[in-house]
Structure 1
Amino acid sequence: MQVIFYIFVLGILLLFLYFFHRLIIKYFSLVSFLAFGTSKIGVYLYFLFFLPGVILHELSHLFTASILGVPSGKLKVFPTKTEQGWSLGQVSSAETDILRSSLIGLAPIVVGTASLLVIVNLGLGIKDLAKNILLLYLLLAFTNTMFLSEEDRTSIWAFPSLLVILFLFGRAMGWVGVLTTVENLFYQIVSPLILSFSLTVLVDFLFFLPLVLLVEILLRIRA
């Protein structure tokens, strides 16, 4: 039951992170439209502000494809208009089996989450204000670019489904020792992850507030 509770808490925190991610995108567009009469400038401002995260997102696809032996195209990091909206970067990869495709698609959220853990662990021991501001910025940049695009989500469930099947198979076969080791590893990873996600939700919220204030100011000016 404790495992389920931890997964539930992680899920709630991820929902909050995604909620703020979407709100921040929306308010960048609103600020751009109210200030310049077009939301396109907001896309470029968002791209420039979150550029480190965009690069990390695309590199995670590229390196994962390379590690798995899947041929990939050139790395493109620049806003382009697509049928679904805007794309901030792109790495094309050859068609492959569903498992490797799932791992390539999941790479940004796995690498992004690992980056958050590293940043939070580094920040806990740093008392230098400038370095802490830099770490908070990277936390913000990586969080708001680690979520998967529509193209990334096409086959992401294959690998998680395989893990669930292996877990259930292990329980059925009575692999108590193996499952206990896996459960202990789960707690070692998830406990700091909950702390990292909680801090990131707070950072997103604090970043979002000035955007709301800026929109209100621009609305009053236009009125």
Structure 2
Amino acid sequence: MNGVCWLLVLGIPLLLVQRRLHQEIQLLFYVITRRGEVALALFSLLFFPGVLLHELSHYVAARLLGVHTGRLSLVPRPMKDGRLRLGYVETGQTDLVRDSLIGVAPLLSGGTVVAYAGLVGLGLSDLPVHLATPVQHLWREGMERIYCQPDFWLWFYLTFTVSSTMLPSSTDRRAWLPLGLVLLSLLGAVILAGAGPWLAAHFSQPLDRAIRIIALVFGISLALHVILLVPIWLARWLLSKMRGFRLV
């Protein structure tokens, strides 16, 4: 399976599971506190490290690219469309390339943190081997070694919060479509000029490796989100029943 397939197989479920998990966490906080503003504050506090990295990535990228920056806010605010904005950075008008690079910066920085925290901090590099082990006690011992990693819960929390906030927002992606159309047009012109085989020979493998790295980051993030979704959903459901809440 090539990198693009892995990216789709892991990326699409990640988007769906992440959205549902965020909803369940917000509902859980609301059921516990019975106050919307307190639930919002707790949700924002939970993801603060990831939001901080996300917005700082925008800010640093803009400064490095020579784009004017304005206000940086980490105060959560509900949007008119019902979404929750956990933070933002004001940047000046610029060209498509720099706008796209500023938009993708959180994915690059967050992906680096998730890859390091997941593979090194949590020791997940050996997870496929443990899962493929047919002997039950060896599988259990392998999972226990992961759990016994130094500062396991700190790395788990950091990996989760960063992976939950590293994906670019719709505003971050605003320049991607026009830039993508320009690049596709240039690629088409190059292929028509007869340079297609040369491009495939020199760029297909590096591009596939880069996409596989992104897919790996998505896979780590998906695994953590799936692990957390069931207990958080169950806790929210039980508390809702106990307190007589009917959440739709």
TM bin, normalised by shorter chain, reads 0.7 to 0.9
Q: Tell me the TM-score normalized by structure 1.
A: 0.84
State the AA in 1 paired with 2:105. Answer: A
Aligned to 2:114: 116
CA distance in 2, matches of 1:132, 1:158: 42
Matched, 1:89 2:110: no
Given the alignment of the two structures, is residue 218 of structure 1 paired with residue 239 of structure 2, yes or no?
Answer: yes
Q: Distance in 2 between matches of 1:163 and 1:142?
A: 30
How far residue 13 of structure 1 moved from its aligned partner, in angstroms, is 1.5
Residue of structure 1 in register with 2:100 after alignment: 102
Give the CA RMSD over aligned residues. 2.5
> Which structure has the larger Rg?
2
Contact 1:30 1:39 in 2 (8 A): no
The verdict on how the C-alpha distance between 1:158 and 1:139 changes in structure 2, with shifts beyond 3 A counting, is: farther
Secondary structure of the 2:66 match is: coil
Aligned counterparts, 1:168-187, within 5 A: 168-175=188-195, 176-187=197-208
> 2:151 and 2:179 mapped to 1: Cα distance?
37
- Is the 8 Å Cα contact of residues 13 and 198 (structure 1) preserved in structure 2? yes
Residues 121-156 of structure 1: per-residue CA shift (max 9 Å, x gap): 423389662344333322211111122333323323
Among candidates 230, 235, 238, match of residue 209 of structure 1: 230
Q: Deviations over 1:81-100 (max 9, x none)?
A: 33344321111011122332
CA drift at 1:66: 1.2
Q: Which structure 1 segments of 5+ residues have no match?
A: none
Q: Does 1:46 align with 2:40?
A: no
Q: How many residues align?
A: 220
Provide the identity percentage: 25
Report the CA distance between 1:189 and its aligned residue. Answer: 2.0
Query: Distance between the aligned counterparts of 2:182 and 2:57, measured in 1?
Result: 21
Aligned residues of 1:171 and 1:179 also touching (Cα < 8 A):
no
